Amino acid sequence: MKKTAVLVCPGRGTYNKSELGSIQRLHNDKAATLQQFDQARTALGLAKVSELDQQPHYSSRVHQQAENAAGLIFAAGVLDYQSIDVEKYDIVAITGNSMGWYTALCCAGSWQPKAAMQHVSHMARLTANAAGAQCIYPVVNAEWQPDAAKQQAVRAVLAKYPGELFPSIQFGGYAVLAGTEAAVHAAVQQLPKVDDRFPMILPGHAGFHSPLMQEAAQQALLDIPSQAFNRPQQPLIDGCGHIWQPFSTTAEALQRYTLDRQVQGHFDFSLALEVAMKEFAPDHVILLGPGSGLGGAVAQTLIRLNWQGIDSKQDFVQQQASNQPLVLSMAIPEQRALLLL
């Protein structure tokens, strides 16, 4: 009997030094799809995904460049999705964090791989050139439970800079803020320090998912027509917690959300996952690669929901150590083995 699963796609910043070569190593049986990705990149005058992945050394300047990072993360995610044994797992819904929405669109069939790579790379260019910055701050305690004092600190700093600082992404136990360079740097100075690491400015990030993206959104709507979108084959859950069902979705509405609301509005990944769990009650949550950056945010959301009695980081770790882990990550070899064709 098939297990049901919600599929979760990663956002920016998940192709790191440890992932170098992972596309070639894990997906050398998917040459046709990788060739489509490379053709799309070549048409845009960008480096091929295969060439970037097979560089002898990792370079932050090259691999974290917006268009390159987006292409690598998107490619790795889609190729991971193609690796899942659909005879064992029934994907009942698909969601993603931030840029992961584009990967979700492709996995659900709203975008085909080659065209999707073109759109993803183009959107990376548009948004990377926008103004502003992002910072990230934890709003949970050491056991990954909600921390009211940290949440209040975030609300207070947002209230101090109206029109300059905005909630950008709710990422499990982390609040990502976006705004002008001045406002983000001021927020970093004023939020209470946590673990000598946070608040932390995200390098190479503009004011994503905030009104600072308005110009990028307007251009995207002109560049990518509604005809580029198809109805999804599986339910999609967006950053507002809305479910896009296969038979009630229109191309025009999906284009408007993807290129406008999603680009310049708050992306609530935690809400998307909450809706996925409550509406679809999956047996598993499958995390696509590259990397394992989604794991903590997913666990923190499950803890907030007290899902299956998981009430703390320790509870989650114990559940994952069982013979039926709830969360299956494609980036963890022993969990990946459970998912493969």
**pLDDT number for residue 315:** 97
CA-wise closest residue to 288 among 330, 325, 326? 330
**178 and 100, same structural domain?**
no
Domain for residue 304, yes or no?
yes
Domain for residue 102, yes or no?
yes
Which element (helix H / strand E) includes 332?
Answer: none
**317 and 223, same structural domain?**
yes
Other Cβ atoms less than 10 A from the Cβ of 67: the count is: 19
**285 and 299, same structural domain?**
yes
Question: Is the whole model's pTM more than 0.95, yes or no?
Answer: yes
pLDDT tens digits for range 238-247:
999 999 999 9
**pLDDT number for residue 182:** 98
Q: Is the pLDDT of residue 84 over 80?
A: yes
Which of 174, 204, 234 marks a domain boundary?
A: 204
**156 and 34, same structural domain?**
no
Residue 34, domain extent: 3-129+214-339
Q: What is the CATH number of the domain that holds 181?
A: 3.30.70.250
**281 and 241, same structural domain?**
yes
CB-based burial, 215-245: b 16+ in 10 Å, e otherwise = ebbebbbeebeeebbbbbebbbbbbebebbe
pLDDT tens digits for range 195-252:
999 999 998 899 999 999 999 999 999 999 999 999 999 999 999 999 999 999 999 9
Domain for residue 167, yes or no?
yes
Number of domains in the chain: 2
Q: What is the CATH number of the domain that holds 73?
A: 3.40.366.10
Which of 148, 170, 204 marks a domain boundary?
A: 204
Cis peptide before 290 (omega within 30 of 0): yes
Question: Given pLDDT bands bounded at 50, 70 and 90, which one contains residue 15?
Answer: confident
Domain for residue 209, yes or no?
no
**pLDDT number for residue 146:** 97
